[in-house]
Amino acid sequence: MSRLSTAYHILINVLSTILLTASNYCMQILCAPTRDEVARAHRDGQGLDIGIISLRNLRYISKRKSTLFLSLALSSIPLHLFYNSAVFGVTIGRHYRVHYVSVNESDTITTLSAARTDLTNEEWWKMYSTQYLHDAADLYLIADRIGFKLDMHANGSWVLARPLVWENKNVINLPEEADVLVVGTTLNDNGTFQQKNWSHQVSYDLRNGHPASHYPGLIPWPQPTFINASISPLGIKNLLPNSGSKLIENNGGLWLNHSMDAAAVDPPLHIIHGLSTPTADGSKVQIALSFMLVVIACNIVKTMAMFLTLRELSSPRILTSGDAVASFLARPEYITLGMCTFGKHAMRNVCCLFRATLGAEPQLLRSMGVSLLALADTNRAFLCTAAIALVLVTVLLGVQQSSLSAWGTASSLRLNLAPQSFTAKGILINSFIANFPQIVLSASYFAVNRLCTSMYFTEEWNSYASSRKGLRVSDAKGEQRDTYFLQLPYRWAVPLAVMCGILHWLLSQSIFLVRLDIHGENGQLIPSESKSACGYSQSSTLVFALVTVGCIVVILLLRLRHIKVGIPIAAHCSLAISAACHPPPDEEEPHLKPVQWGVVRNRFGGEIDHCTYSSEPVTAPEPGKRYA
């Protein structure tokens, strides 16, 4: 069952990853502005983000595109909440009885053995100590000896403690120190012990304790985690052979209706092996119809939104940095003229409504080296922090117990964060708890995708200061180059998508929705005892945490790389890109030719030089010099 559940979750997470990357692609297309929308934002003194998903752009793009963008984003929430829970495991738990059989009941044991599995003490103890028994029923324990608790008198005499008493209640006098046999003895007619066939001996002061608890060969009255267990004694009167004499009072309230969590006064039994009643494993993988309908509805919304998004590709828009540079080289903006040394952060401090007066002032070019980490936006840092917090939480879940549990849905561990109810409300709450981390992980994917896109954007943008090449655009013409997967190259996009799918699958194996169906001894479902719960696996959690930490370390190492800045960092800002694109007026179609950013022939007169993207020869700007 666990293998089938794992296979289904692999398929689900492959499909989820495809939907996630497709949604990311379409959302990036939808928030990509047209040139007119960029111009309108610039007139308002605002810059738009180019080449990445940006909520800032929604204010200026059309309502149709904003609606499609929000449809794709909002439909992902219920999809992540219910997709993995649409297929879940149903664990079976059965009521069963534990029977104690005397080793002398040879005929009974022979009959029982014919249809049951013989287990060693280690095997039945491990098997029946699990919380939910799904492939076995009644357990028959074969006992050959019994122990008794003793009560001491002040004079050193002792009797067998109640409620277990000998029929012959004579007081037996023994020395203060004696070799006492408690197990495997017979009783003479006069009520004295016959020292015969001793299997264990101990020198023990009877006034200081009970020797029965000091026999390592005895298994005490069972107190493992037996669930729904009861005792049905069989042949218990014959545990001590004595020519048919009745040695133990048959107290019905003590034996026939005894519970497994009995008091400590009950006698220890020496078990030699057990017989387990095998049953068919009723555990299964089930589809939640209501959850699947929600998933189908969300997929329909996404499919329609993606179809309408693809139709938007027919209209010209600025998808990548190359598209933006090409557009501004073809039609330079007067509003950013003379601000060629302004990067994104400098543009934030300048009001575009006064560009006419500020643009003519030459600005000092500062050369510096910078790590890519310094270019991270606070929202990305916040989401990455959320991802780290998610890892820490899952690690804490993984170390709650001393030993690792089974992998994935085979684990029997349950979280107690919500009522384990069999009702629709209980299933919904547990499904939310199990799948909310999937939403956090998806948000982290968008954040990391944006972060990687920004890193590549910065490297690509900065490379034009040192080499001449054609612009990478979404619709190549002339000597332009075709774009990658939007802004992100395939060598980045593919590993990122694959790792996202792996993490989603590992998370689905770390915390998941399970249903527990409790059946009575007659095999009938007991709804009042059945429940839904949120299960988790320590092994899966540990692997998920290690892989996630590894991914974060790789990304941080990439961000810590030190680059030599040769061009003011635009960081997706349309204003900064526009400021870098003011070629000489007589330059013909520079956007269709290989270009490079640098100092061009003076277009303003005087001693102030100008930097721009240009298809003409350029020289490297000098740090500490003013440019306009």
Name which residue leads in pLDDT, 135 or 65.
65
Q: State which amino acid sits at residue 212.
A: A
CA distance 271 to 142: 6
What pLDDT is recorded for position 282? 67
Sign of the CA dihedral 586, 591, 593, 599?
A: positive
Say how far apart CA 376 and CA 282 lie, in whole Å: 52
Return d(Cα 485, Cα 34) in angstroms, integer.
19
Banded pLDDT at 388 (limits 50, 70, 90): low
User: Range with the lowest mean pLDDT among 60-64, 77-81, 393-397, 607-611?
Assistant: 393-397
When the pLDDT of each residue in the chain is averaged and rounded to a whole number, the result is: 69
Instruction: Look at the alpha carbons of 418, 424, 427, 433 in this order and tell me if their dihedral is positive or negative.
Output: negative
What pLDDT does residue 595 have? 92
pLDDT for 43 equals: 84
Residue 13 pLDDT > 80, yes or no? no
- Between CA 247 and CA 486 the distance in angstroms is 87
Which stretch of 188-197, 391-400, 468-477, 540-549 has the lowest confidence by average pLDDT?
A: 188-197
Cβ partners under 8 Å of residue 328, min gap 6: 577, 578, 580, 581
At residue 91, does pLDDT exceed 80?
Answer: no
Q: Looking at the DSSP assignment, which residues form a beta bridge with residue 511? A: 536
For the CA atoms of 56, 61, 67, 69, the dihedral, rounded to the nearest 10 degrees, stands at: -60
In this structure, are residues 508 and 13 in contact, taking their beta carbons and an 8 Å threshold?
yes
pLDDT of residue 438: 84
Q: How many CA atoms lie within 13 A of 519 on its CB side?
A: 19
DSSP state of 220: P
The per-residue pLDDT for 277 is: 83
- Say what the pLDDT of residue 613 is: 92
In angstroms, rounded to a whole number, what is the distance separating the alpha carbons of residues 597 and 583? 10
Whether the per-residue pLDDT at 414 is higher than 80: the answer is no
Among 19-33, 39-53, 410-424, 445-459, whose mean pLDDT is lowest?
410-424
* 417-461 tens-digit pLDDT: 666 666 677 777 888 888 888 888 888 888 888 888 888 888 888
Which of helix, strand or coil describes residue 454?
A: helix
3-class DSSP assignment, residue 436: helix
For residues 456, 457, 463 and 464, what is the CA-based torsion angle, rounded to 10 degrees? 160
The answer to whether residue 12 scores a pLDDT higher than 50 is yes
In angstroms, rounded to a whole number, what is the distance separating the alpha carbons of residues 336 and 173? 111
User: Is pLDDT larger for residue 10 or for residue 191?
Assistant: 10
Answer yes or no: is pLDDT of 257 > 70. Answer: no
Between 53 and 130, the more confident residue is 53
CA–CA distance, 384 with 451 (Å, rounded to integer): 10
Given a cut of 80, whether residue 49 has pLDDT beyond it is yes
Residue-level pLDDT at 264:
32
Comparing 68-72, 131-135, 142-146, 232-236, the range with the smallest average pLDDT is: 232-236
| 99 vs 109: CA distance, rounded Å | 12
pLDDT of 120 above 80: yes
Task: Report d(CA 129, CA 227) in Å as an integer.
Answer: 8
Q: What is the pLDDT of residue 596?
A: 92
Q: What is the per-residue DSSP string for 475-521?
A: S--TT-EE-BBBTB-HHHHHHHHHHHHHHHHHHHHHEEEEEEEEE-T
**Kind and range of the H or E element at 93?**
strand 87-94
Closest CA to 112 of 146, 134, 144, 141: 141
Name 485's bridge partners.
488
pLDDT, tens only, 514-550: 777 777 767 777 777 777 778 888 888 888 888 888 8
Residue 575's closest CA among 66, 33, 61? 33
| pLDDT value, residue 396 | 52
- Least confident segment among 261-265, 356-360, 433-437, 473-477: 261-265
pLDDT tens digits for range 575-590: 989 988 988 888 888 8
Tell me which DSSP letter residue 47 carries. Answer: P
pLDDT of residue 101: 73
Report how far residue 222's alpha carbon sits from residue 617's, in angstroms, rounded to the nearest whole number.
90
- The per-residue pLDDT for range 551-610, each reduced to its tens digit, is 888 887 877 777 777 888 888 888 989 988 988 888 888 888 899 998 887 665 667 788
Q: At what angle do helices 2-30 and 63-82 cross, to 10 degrees?
A: 170
Instruction: Please tell me the total number of residues recorded for the chain in this structure.
Output: 628
Confidence of residue 215 (pLDDT cuts 50, 70, 90): very low
CA nearest to 485, candidates 28, 89, 8:
28
Total-model pTM: 0.66
pLDDT value of position 298 = 87
